[in-house]
Chains A and B, each alone.
Chain A
Amino acid sequence: MPIREEAAMTEIYNSRFRPEIQDAQRAAEYEATGSDYGANGYLTMRQADELLAHLQLQPDDVLLDIGSGTGWPGLYLANRSGCRVVVSDLTVAGMVQARRRATDDGMHARTSSVVASGRHLPFRPDSFDAIVHADVLC
């Protein structure tokens, strides 16, 4: 994605991930997807469970969620499997909410958050056991 387009997306999603907006649409999110992580997208709870099965996550695994927004589905998958997780997103607003959710769910110690573009991920080679993303490869 060109830098200018990425900057525009960042602005849009920083606006959409504001906590007051997420709080107001929480019931709609739950109705649409079955999730309550403050997500805006199309990944349903049932599909997240499918991802969990496909990724075969173990407690000593490290999962990377690219374009995680407010932590969905990375935090959920880590919570279900017991693995460590790195959630990453273009937006600061999303990562702030993800950190808050990780703390609320008692996952603070095994959650890291990184503000980064999916095209320029600041990690060393061979760092992860599994990678997940939902509608980010656009």
Chain B
Amino acid sequence: MSKRKTKRHWKSLEERNANPDVLKVLGDEFPPGGPRQFRRRDFLKAAGFTMGVAVTTGCTRAPIQRAVPLLSQPEEIVPGRFLYYASTCGGCNAGCGVLAKVRDGRPIKLEGNPEHPISRGGLCATGQASILGLYDAERLQHPLKDGKSSTWADVDREITADLETIRAERGAVRFLSGTINSPTTLAGIQEFLKGFQNSRHVVYDALSNSALLDAHEKTHGVRALPRFHFDKAEVIVSFDADFLGTWISPVEYTADYRAARNLETKHVSYHVQFEPRLSVTGSKADQRFAVASGELGLLLSHLAERVAHKEDSPFASSQMDAAPVKEAFLDELAERLRQARGRSLVVCGVNDVRQQILCNYINHLLGNYGTTLVLEKPSLQSQGSDRELETLLDELRKGEIKALFVYGVNPSFELPGGESLERDLQKVPLLVSFAQRLDETASLARYVLPEPHYLESWSDHESISGVASISQPLLHRLGETRSVAETISAWRGSPKPGYELIRETWRNNLFTRQKKERDFETFWERTLHDGFAEIETDAIGGKPFSIQSVQPIWRAERPEANSFSLVLYPKVGMLDGRNAYNPWLHELPDPITKVTWDNYVSIAPKAAARFGISDGDVVRVDTNAGVAVELPAYIQPGQHEQTLAIALGYGSKLSARFAKVGPQWIDALVSVGDKGVVGVNAVLLLRFGNGILEYTTTNVKLTRTDKQRELACTQTHNTLSVPKKLQPKGSGPRPVLQETTLAAYLKDPHSGVEDHEEKEDLWPTDHPYRGPRWGMIIDQNACTGCSSCVIACQVENNIPVVGRDEIRRNREMHWLRIDRYYSETDSGQIEVAYEPLMCQQCENAPCETVCPVLATVHSEDGLNQQVYNRCIGTRYCANNCPYKARRFNWFNYAHDDQLQNLVLNPDVAVRSRGVMEKCTFCVQRIQEAKIEAKRRGEKVSDAAVQTACQQSCPSQAIYFGDLNDPQSQVSKMMANPRRYRVLGELNVRPAVGYLTVVRNRPEEATKGSKEEHHG
């Protein structure tokens, strides 16, 4: 074993600062805190009597089971087999292509379409979880009028009559929606609004990119969002753009980003991130700097000045403030950018036009337009205009609007209007909402005309110019809903079903723009099969870059001494609040903080120390405008010292349903907050002014309140470290996560790897793997922590939702968890690495030897099997597992919602109380592949099996396959010099290997860690 000091990784500040109380708790997998004291004799008496009672309730004969076949079975439907249909995800505006797995006439799982140019096989957590929205009993089943159920005929009649009056009176009609990139719906809306003199379609995004679009209008004369190609970039500089997490099209960008970081070909990009809070993208950056949000503009100017200087371009910079980052670093960065001219990408995620123009300027100087940013074939994924929204809000305030149609957005929840906005909305005589559920805006609307879920209706998308995708229904509509296009066609007098409307648009507009197929029907069939079609588009005309638009920013907006600047951001699972109905996404631990079921104020450690705040203390954030919110605090290493960050999307009415989520027992804490909803809505802290939604505020005050709210955070659970009292003398911290730098890797590919030689096997003939032997490799360099694998596993394996209280007691049920480790560099920068951890399917499994009933045994293809019907719940196996990968069913998690049960995977058992469960390497998929191969008379092929997590990863970080096949990808990866095994020194011989994180840093591997605090 080398004497080199290994880099110390820690999961929480308590662990790092060696707080003895917490370390004690960390060591316990099942922390104490049981029911009140019960005297033993009373207990035995009660037990005896209960047994007597239980026996009398008695067993009866097995109930009669019926088998009801279809009356007329279509040829392709075989009960028990599934079919894949291509569709497009509607979880956000990115428009990733999906393949929906349909079983017995209903979709049960979504998978990314490998051929789709946006998703390329991956799908984000929101997309994976969006299938639950289909089987939601809270979706509206009928149109509502004034809160009461009505019929389509009635509402159509009344609304058309109202519209007639409005048309005659030349009243103002507005259609307010989010970004719509469905050509059919857009065409329908245009036609509809044409019938009114004073009408407009106002588009806004709750997570606005309006400044980016406006900036391009100023610099290039066209208001468009370029399509970013991160795979072509060798140097990526991001100014608070969370492109791997939540910005515009994260699945696409993650796949591209990954392609540009290929260690095998030594083609590794260099990524620098400047941001006020620690985001998912920042956690992957090679260099990350925490700067205040008000300093980003100044930083952009500094970088622009340097690049302009190198490119001999003018840039007025005489009186700029000093840069918040070392000048030497900026010089070096500018030089790297210049060397990678045309192959670099600078992105800015701040919704500020001046900063975006500076960013465009830098890209223009570097010649990136045309290669890494393509404006001619723009992205249509975000088209909102804050300016138009502001005008609309003005009109609402003045009461000028006679009819307002709201589609795909929830302005009452997403905009900082508060009660005055509610009043303004109620002033509109005809307020119609097309919401799927009764959200805040729909509650104010006179008519609610629910639209169907994207999996049960026809729709189309053109998310990127040139790629037209189709969304097809996979089951009959569950309820009397009607899509917006259908509703509009009904109001215009010629009601047509969605199918015909889509075909019409495609025949007239899209079929004509392609040359591959001559016949429309063939084109249509092929598109339905593929899920998308490539069509030609005209390049949008842009003007040459307008230098005059560039305005340097000379001053930084720093907060005063005891104040903070506040940043509002979307979380990976919740986005703008659209997923507030989804329990899976509430329970998904945030990639960075690992907090579930709540939002909170992130505060830097130094600032927390100054104010005497610890995790869970409720604090009050006051802005200058007199708005205040109270939220629990959470200490975030790596955040800028004078920055507070709060997540948007919480506090929604749609989350009131979680008042009773999880097992209900006497001492349970509720998952909702004081107001009966999960989290607190921070939207009042947004500022709307000058035509821009601002997500940052300066000079915000922080005060402690006396209240406390315990945050259900999973980061302190399941530690793989040995408690101090059990550590043998002279042992150091376990190298659970291994990393290195690119410089060290290029010198020696084994650098950073502390793998242990496999000791001699005591039982060499115990497990002869005659057939396939399943193994997995996780490339930690590719993993971005996006957690889509966690949700994919939850959907595939019927993993229950347990609620906040159970998570607080370490009882989350996710089979696959992503451990996030912090570490520090010598210069005090916080670095993050992710380690997805699931059952390692050990060959010498410690769990197999201790099960008293042999419920967990080793299979002949390398899996550690868990037999639920044999398990009696001793939990000795979980005790013995060094990876803490086993989950125990402490309760019978409720499956009362019959509609929601339709999403359950029929190939996986639903476990009852008292049974241990864990990752099975998707054994149901392995069995299916083996049986199909047997049916066809072939050997089971490695490529036929894809575990759910592997399939879903947008970054292709997981490899799975047959270790006994030397040609398989996973066998080759196992031979990769970067490969190590977590806790390899225990000689449990896991079947899962990990590839080290390689950070692209010019200097040598960093030494040890500093003991001081770094805020």
- The yes or no verdict on A and B being binding partners is no
